[in-house]
Structure 1
Amino acid sequence: MRIAMIGTRGVPARYGGFETAVEEIGARLADAGHDVRVYCRGAVEKLPAYKGMTLVHLPAVQHKIMETLSHTALSVGHVLLHRTDVALVFNAANAPLLPFLKLARIPVATHVDGLEWKRAKWNGAGQRYYLAVEKLSVRWSKQIIADAVAIQDYYRETYAAGSVMIPYGAPVQERCDDDLLRAEGYEPGGYHLVVARFEPENHVDLIVEGYSRSAARLPLVVVGSAPYAEEYVKKINDLAAKDERVKLVGAVWNQDLLDALYAGSATYLHGHSVGGTNPSLLRAMGAGAPTIAYDVVFNREVLAESGAFFAGPEDLATVIEQAEDDPAACRRRGDLARERARVHYTWDDVAARYERLCLDLRG
């Protein structure tokens, strides 16, 4: 089959969950003999191909609302001139462009992601737009892809729409690179970890506040930043400045170091609340990080019995203290999380399910 993957920043993956999914799935589809074309934007080095995938580089308007849609518009135009058997479109925000593919009789599956309209960065108009494109995705896609059962439930209950559930995969680490951690100034097992973009729905401020209320002996290492949320970033900086145990280290682009940080953490604190199957959560699980997650249905679905949960600063402080008081129990939860990732969230299985979906779309 000829398969086009549209709507992300493309590969190599250096940004987020969509890009990682495209790289992991696309490479495996290419290995299986399919002609995979990935549309990319913003790459410093414009590679013509990567891991068996053909890369098409197109520009985009540099604006938080228009960037994705402008790039996808050009990508759809390219697809119309260079036929494909199936189009996989990532992000419901691209739904206004789906009729062009439908008119060209190109079957489309849209990966709708989480409940984007709940994100605080969108104002009233942005929220209305994301609610509208959810409906358009249902109307104009041959199939909807949900990455969690809870997202499936939402689309069924809200739009009476069926979907196929395909989660993300989790990289599994059997050991931690202790030498790398120590070279970078971290003691294995000697810190609590947050990895998140600084956006309100990821609750980094709540985590810092809850940690500061605790009697934790180990420091809190916070990895992340935000390109647009200046006011929210200031709030986090102000909270961190009041507690010398909190270490804001910014973004970490060295993936080996990031893997080691997950694997070497005493706990991983996960505050994401509006997505489905979150890639950062899966990465922590695959690394065997004992995870304490914000108490929403998505996180409970992914972690199941391997997780501990919090709803506010006070109960987070309590759970952190319990984790330090009983590190053996904490490690057992981490081992359970790794095994759950190994069994339920493998990229080989994810790619096989995408291949079956593409065969079904082509008919």
Structure 2
Amino acid sequence: MKIAIVGTRGIPNYYGGFEQFAEYLSLGLTERGHQITVYNSHVHPFQENEWRGVEIIHCYDPEDKIGTAGQFIYDLNCIRDLRKRKFDIVLQLGYTSSSVWGWLLPKDTVVTTNMDGLEWKRTKYSSRVQKFLMWAEGLGVKYSDHLISDSIGIQDYLTEKYGRPSTFIPYGAHAFESPQQGVLNEYNLEPYNYDLLIARLEPENSIEVILDGVARADIGRKFLVIGKNETAYGEYLKEKYKSRTTILFLGGIYNIEKLDSIRYFSNLYFHGHTVGGTNPSLLEAMASESLICANRNPFNQYILGEDALYFSTPKDVSDVLSKIQKHDELFQRMVRNNIAKIKDTYAWEKIIDQYESHFNTVFNKINR
């Protein structure tokens, strides 16, 4: 099959999230003999026209010059290019800035869209932007031939709100098997003597709730905050907790091997995401043998079940930090169970299998 992947900044992955997903999926499908094309921003660090057998098409992307509005122009340019070529299937990753152009998608190509999370619920957006995102979500549903949900919660939501079925295919992760203790020296850390969170520093990721709990516990153990912090909210957080010398804002760390080792040797890993489906960073934490304390919500609970600790308030965070040690047998069982889930349910090979099966199904329908 000839398949195009749109909706990301491009591959190879320099950004995380959907870019990482596009990298793994495009490589996996290429290895199985399919012709895969990925659309890249023209400012992507990789400037060649092919990467490990995947065709790369660069389209003009002015986001670096004009901000968010540039995403809409980039998506329009990708769709305009799509119309010049013949693909069997177009896979859209997300809908936020592309669905307004959905009416321009080629009518003779099957369009299947991964609907991502509930973007309009993100508290970082104004009410006006939230209303736009809800409208864009509806357009994403309207202009897609098929929908993909990466969590059961999103699947239920799409059925209830739009009456549309969707194929459930979660995100993937690799089980981490090569921890490098030497990485800790770079950050002056001792194994199992620090806790951390890794997230975009945004309100809906419970950053302030978690850090209020850290401050309340005041146990003297280092707490790492990993994520780009040169933002208004990041500056606010750094100012609020500047007197807490154990709270360390490390900024973004994008080397996956480093991140995996930092997660592996942590005592507690806090996952505060409240919006969305199968969050990649949660699977990566599970795959890195982290002991996870997650925000109590249906999306996280569906994935983790009884194999995690949960919090809703700063007091919950404080209580967990004050009492929990990763190496207690009860919590080691949670860690082992989560690794088993990665290998049984969320392994990348299985995720690629499911996407290939989905594509085969829709391709066979149009070629009968």
* TM-score normalised by L of structure 2: 0.93
Whether 1:214 and 2:217 are equivalent positions in the alignment is: yes
Decide which moves more: 172-181 or 300-309. Answer: 172-181
Equivalent residues of 2:38, 2:57 under 8 A apart:
yes
Q: Does 1:133 align with 2:136?
A: yes
Report the secondary structure of 1:144's partner residue: strand
Indicate yes or no: 2:52 matched with 1:40: no
1:105 corresponds to: 108
Q: How does 1:62-101 map to 2 (within 5 A)?
A: 62=63, 63-93=66-96, 94-101=98-105
What is residue 223 of structure 1 aligned with on the other side?
A: 226
Q: Contact conserved, 1:120 with 1:201, CA < 8 A, in 2?
A: yes
Q: Which runs of 5+ in 1 are unaligned?
A: none
What is the distance in 2 between the residues matched to 1:165 and 1:23? 20
Aligned partners of 2:158 and 2:237: how far apart in 1? Answer: 34
Partner of 1:149: 152
Q: 156-165 or 66-75, which moves further after superposition?
A: 66-75
Helix, strand or coil at the partner of 2:241 = helix
Q: Report what 1:11 is aligned to.
A: 11
Matches within 5 A, 1:1-363: 1-41=1-41, 42-62=43-63, 63-93=66-96, 94-102=98-106, 104-226=107-229, 229-230=231-232, 232-324=233-325, 327-362=328-363, 363=365
TM-aligned CA distance change 1:253 to 1:46, over 3 Å: same
C-alpha distance after superposition, 1:215-260 (max 9, x if no partner): 4342101101256x41x22331123213111111111122221111
Separation in 2 of the partners of 1:333 and 1:217? 25
Post-superposition Cα deviations, 1:44-67, rounded to whole Å, max 9, x if no partner, equal 231222232111111212145323
Q: How many Å apart are 1:325 and its aligned residue?
A: 8.6
**TM-aligned CA distance change 1:47 to 1:328, over 3 Å:** farther
Q: Is the 8 A contact 1:210 1:313 kept in 2?
A: yes
Distance of 2:131 and 2:2 partners within structure 1: 35
C-alpha RMSD over aligned residues: 1.7
Where structure 2 has 5 or more consecutive residues not aligned to the other structure, the ranges are none
Hey, what's the Cα distance between the residues in 2 that align with 1:297 and 1:64? 33
1:36 alignment partner AA? I
- What is the CA deviation profile of residues 258-297 of structure 1, one whole-angstrom value per residue up to 9, with x for unaligned ones? 1111111111101111011000000000011000001111
Distance 1:13 1:180 in 2: 22
**Equivalent residue letter for 1:216:** I
Deviations 1:76-115 (A, max 9, x none): 111111211100011122112222225x321101111101
Q: Greater CA deviation, 265-274 or 247-256?
A: 247-256
Moved more, 77-86 or 217-226: 217-226
For the residues of structure 1 that align with 2:357 and 2:290, how far apart are their CA atoms?
A: 32
Contact 2:212 2:314 in 1 (8 A): yes
* CA distance in 2: counterparts of 1:187 and 1:346, whole angstroms: 30
Deviates more, 1:61-70 or 1:192-201: 61-70
Deviates more, 1:268-277 or 1:60-69: 60-69
1-structure distance, mates of 2:157, 2:67 = 26
Q: Which stretch of structure 1 is more off in the superposition, 116-125 or 146-155?
A: 116-125
* Identical columns (%): 29
- Relative distance call for 1:242 and 1:61 in structure 2 (3 A) is same
SS at match of 1:292: strand
Post-superposition offset of 1:139: 1.5
- What's the CA shift for 1:149? 0.1
CA deviation string 1:166-225 (max 9, x = no partner): 111012112421122234422221210110111111111111111111143421011012
Q: Secondary structure at the match of 2:38?
A: strand
Residues 216 and 171 of structure 1, relative CA distance in 2, 3 Å threshold: farther
TM-score, normalising length: structure 1: 0.95
Q: Tell me how many residue pairs correspond in the alignment.
A: 360
Cα offset, 1:124, TM superposition: 2.3
2: distance between equivalents of 1:120 and 1:226?
17
Aligned residue for 1:81, secondary structure, equals coil
SS in 2 for 1:222: strand
Amino acid of the residue matched to residue 26 of structure 1? S
- Whether contact under 8 Å (1:150, 1:276) holds in the other structure is yes
Whole-Å Cα distance in 2 between the matches of residues 325 and 355 of structure 1?
A: 38
* Equivalent residue letter for 1:335: R
CA drift of 1:321 comes to 1.7
